[in-house]
Chain A
Amino acid sequence: MRTPIKQILIFTFILPMILYGKPQKKELNFFCGSAVKVPMEEIIQKYQQKTGVKINVIYGGSGTLLSQIELSKKGDVYLAGSPDYIIIGENKKLLIKNTDKIVSYLVPAIIVPKNNPKNINSLQDLGKENVRIGIGNPETVCLGLYSAELLEYNNLLEKVMSNIVVFAKSCEDTAMLVVLNKVDAIIGWDVFETWNPNEVKWIKLTEPEIPRISYIPIAIPIFVKEKKLAQDFINYILSKEGQDVFKRWGYISKADEALKFAPKATIGGEYKLPKKFYDILKNK
């Protein structure tokens, strides 16, 4: 019996190529930091409906997304969780210089479970005895790096680090720590309360404690296929329609609104983990 080699080959290779051949529709590869997943889903849907352009969105941590862009040599739009990553991206020659824009501002906050079991009301309280703290991993999560900066600025690095029991591996994971009641407090972003209003509480920091206001930047990678298309999408996010969605989800869109929390704080910039951070870790 002759084995139907020809038929098998056609079926395995040629048929799929015909079926999944070059797509006709316009589409964008959007690498989006998970810090804005919640409002972004709505914005993407609106944009797709409006323009018919398909957005392939990939959520993840800022660093992971950058790695994916580097390894796959793909990417039309990149949204990071903090300005640090735009600088890293530009240095690695992955992002087109000067395409970055500010999408939203983030104010650091102490987030505790709704009932605040350990009664934490200030940054100092994080150093109290018998308190379990969690932060994002400072090496990889924007939020974590920011937490380290915040603590160092307020001379609380050693004291609070002895209470830190875990580094979470992403922004959402950090938020989850409180939602699941695994720690007594985290250093997070103000928007965490809007994400989970029933489970967590936002303890505001005082003005002098905040050294820097962070923001969420968006930029265009060098691998972009149609720069105009990417720019159009970015403009939509920054437009009134897009910003309204952000506002509804508790994100701060204007610089002056953000500065209300800390008038003397700087906006943007870089921060590098100090050596003593590693020393403290090792000796824990």
Chain B
Amino acid sequence: MKNKTFNFLLFFFLGFIIVFFLILIIELFGYLNFTTTKNLNFSRIFWSIRLTITTATISSLIATFFAIPIGYLLSRYSFPLKNFISSLLYLPIIISPIALGAMLLIFFNTPIGTFFEKYFFRVVFEVPAIVFAQFVIIIGMCINLTKSVFDYINPEYENISKTLGATSFQTFFYITLPMAKKGIISAFLLTWARAMGEFGATVTLAGATTFKTETLPVAIYLSFASAEISTGITFILITLFIGMTILIILHSLNNKLFYDKNT
């Protein structure tokens, strides 16, 4: 096969998917009805946007915080039953989000769950439920990503740090983490995007309560559930616009600021 043909094929595969996605977005405009969009409640939309961004950011920050030490452990250490245990991390990804939401609902009926809600704060059907559900859904994926980041960093640097007298903890803090900065931020961004779009587990654990737990995905669902297609599409376009803008800006910043001299 000629090189030109090979290059063409590569771009063809990419183009196929990109064009398909673009069609999906553009076709939405065909269903926008100006009269219905005029009647949209903008304070409600802003409320929803703020809730979605806040909860997604909090849950992905917490997830990344957990994923950094866990990803490092899985990358560097070996221990008995490692395969089995790391497969368990994929549990939330395998079962459907609604199933996971149901499992979480049941959890808060157990003694641990009820104890928590009694002595700390209520979770079920409240805003913390959104953060909680998102966290459970995204943590497996986040760990996978951070593990890859650490896999890519040469462990020899850590050995050298130890010969210079640094403990494992100091090495991780002063050598490994700084080298992993860029990759971890990328992992955070991808996790955040997933949290933004999370619906099934969130709506089961937090409910679809207007002005309380109505995130953007829930608002979209509720619009279609009341046969208000134009409103739903408006929400979709808003979500896409906000999400993509934030992602593109942060991604470019990440690339510029932490230009990797390793590569």
Contact = CB atoms under 8 A, between A and B. Distances in A.
A binds B: yes
Interface of A: 61-64, 66-67, 70-71, 85, 88-89, 92, 134, 137, 139-141, 165-170, 180-182, 278, 281-282, 284
Interface in B208-226: 208-213, 218, 221-222, 224-226
A interface: dominant SS = mixed
Contacts of A182: 105, 124-125
Most chain-B CB neighbours within 10 Å: which of A137, A165, A170, A182?
Answer: A137
Q: Report, nearest first, the 3 A-B pairs whose CB atoms are least far apart.
A: A166-B207, A166-B125, A140-B225
Contacts of B213: 166
Identify whether the interface residues of B are mostly helix, strand, loop, or mixed: loop
Contact of A168 (B106, B126, B208, B210): B208
Nearest to B122: A165
Contacts of A141: 225
Contacts of B109: 180-181
B142 interface: no
B225 A61 contact: yes
Contacts of A180: 105-106, 109
Interface residues of B, number: 25
A134 B125 CA distance: 10
A168 to B, nearest CB: 6
B227 interface: yes
B74 interface: no
Contacts of B207: 134, 165-169
B203 interface: yes
B184 interface: no
B210 A137 contact: yes
Contacts of A140: 208, 222, 225-226
21 contacts: A63-B224, A63-B228, A64-B227, A66-B227, A67-B225, A67-B229, A89-B227, A140-B225, A140-B226, A165-B207, A166-B209, A168-B208, A169-B222, A180-B105, A180-B106, A182-B105, A182-B125, A278-B210, A282-B211, A284-B211, A284-B212
A67 B209 contact: no
Contacts of B203: 169
Contacts of B225: 61, 63-64, 67, 137, 140-141, 169-170
Contacts of A166: 125, 207, 209, 213
A71 B229 contact: yes
A170 B224 CA distance: 12
Contacts of B211: 278, 281-282, 284
A281 B227 contact: no
Contacts of B212: 281, 284
A67 B227 contact: yes
